[in-house]
Chains A and B, each alone.
Chain A
Amino acid sequence: MRFKAMTAVAALMLAVPGVVSAGPDDDKLVINGEIEMTTKAPVPEHMEDTNMDQIMSGWHFRSDETQALEMDDFDNPGMIFVDAGMEQWNTVEGSEGNSCASCHEDPSSMKGVRAVYPKWDADAEEVQTLAMQINDCRENNMGAEPYGYTSGQMANMEALISLQSRGMPVDVAIDGPARETWEQGKELYYTRTGQLELSCANCHEDSYGMMIRADHLSQGQINGFPTYRLKNARLNTVHGRFKGCVRDTRAETYAPGSPEFVALELYVASRGNGLSVEGPSVRN
């Protein structure tokens, strides 16, 4: 009880200055003094019926100290996991005697990939996320065990692949065969869940820039994933974050890798069309 009461008063005291300076900042994200990132962009056409005037990376909602961690690749602890991903890339696993490098050579061959995922896979006749594609490769081309969907190894590999597209605009397709999945994702985005009856939109469309207790609500963009969070000091995957968010509405969550979260990922990714791929980013 004591702790809870203290927490409440601390949150209030801290929220007060926060309210005064509410709203995202206007800082510029330049990484290593040379890679200029697009962290604010016009609202994609499909969101014109929202009241948003621009889309913004979650980077703008963080403190200067947290922002600085992403501005230099050495200061960014997420890069440790890119190194780990590089080792995985070159490691032969499975019955076929292949590593990622056996077919794809250098990871730079993955340039542009992160920017367009999730995307329709004509052979599988479904929308696939980057994680699904990685595991498809492992199972079918390497004869290896799939990574756990939100495992550390998966996050490492996603970080390595995302880095190759860093600075490129997110550009997921929402028309053609992907449309149905996208519509399903949109439906989920606006559906209230849990005892708190909150939809994604309640926080991340209607209330971004405001404080939720002492935390600054972002637009919930996923262009920066996988993201190194100060909270748990490791890389976090998109579906891991979705799960945490839905759980916080006090709902039973969908499982990482489920068709629902795949659809939601496609839809949320499309809300960031035009922002730079930032992964691995740093957030609180």
Chain B
Amino acid sequence: MAEGVRPRVKAPKSAEAGEVVVIKTLISHKMESGQRKDSDGNVIPQSIIHRFVCAFNGETVLDVEMHPAISTNPYFEFEATVPEAGDFEFTWYDDDGSVYEDKKSVSVG
């Protein structure tokens, strides 16, 4: 697992049933593009987070395929419908096989 990777998620703690809420996510990651060279002139291999998924109670909100053109410390902002009380699940997939997860519970009513 890449060192010091930490996700941050901003989601409301409560919502009305059916309400559309704004979600923001940020994760610390170098997103090594594969285009840079080290001081000896060797290409530093690509090592990025290549996929991000947000789901609510198992149903997909957003599924993003990511390329090296996504900036260091990837940021996403998007909207989600909250049909009922439950959990937002956030998952980031790293090229090195690591999977980073976060979860935010939302109450309804």
In the complex they form, whether A and B have CB atoms below 8 Å apart is answered with yes
A206 to B: closest C-beta gap in Å: 34
For the residues of B in contact with A, the DSSP-based class is loop
Q: Give chain A's interface residue range (CB within 8 Å of chain B).
A: 10 to 19
B10 in contact with A233 (CB, 8 Å): no
B8 in contact with A233 (CB, 8 Å): no
From 108 to 144 in chain A, residues with beta carbon under 8 angstroms from any chain B beta carbon are none
Q: Encode contact with B along A64-76: 1 for CB under 8 Å, 0 otherwise.
A: 0000000000110
Known: A74-B26, A77-B26. A83 touches B73 (CB 8 A): no
B72 in contact with A233 (CB, 8 Å): yes
Cβ of A172 < 8 Å from any Cβ of B? Answer: no
Q: Encode contact with B along A207-237: 1 for CB under 8 Å, 0 otherwise.
A: 0000000000000000000000000011000
Please give the number of chain B residues whose Cβ is less than 8 angstroms from any Cβ of chain A in the complex. 11
Q: Encode contact with B along A254-271: 1 for CB under 8 Å, 0 otherwise.
A: 000000000000000000
**In the bound complex, how far is the Cα of B71 from the Cα of A80, in angstroms?**
15
A74 in contact with B24 (CB, 8 Å): yes
Cβ of A238 < 8 Å from any Cβ of B? Answer: no
Cβ of A29 < 8 Å from any Cβ of B? Answer: no
Known: A74-B24, A74-B26, A75-B24. A83 touches B6 (CB 8 A): yes
Cβ of B75 < 8 Å from any Cβ of A? Answer: yes
Cβ of A79 < 8 Å from any Cβ of B? Answer: yes
Q: Which residues of A contact B (CB under 8 A)?
A: 74-75, 77, 79-81, 83-84, 233-234
Q: A74-B26, A75-B75, A77-B73 are in contact. List 18 more A-B contacts (CB 8 A).
A: A74-B8, A74-B10, A74-B24, A77-B26, A77-B75, A79-B8, A80-B6, A80-B8, A80-B26, A80-B28, A80-B73, A81-B28, A84-B4, A84-B6, A84-B28, A233-B71, A233-B73, A234-B72
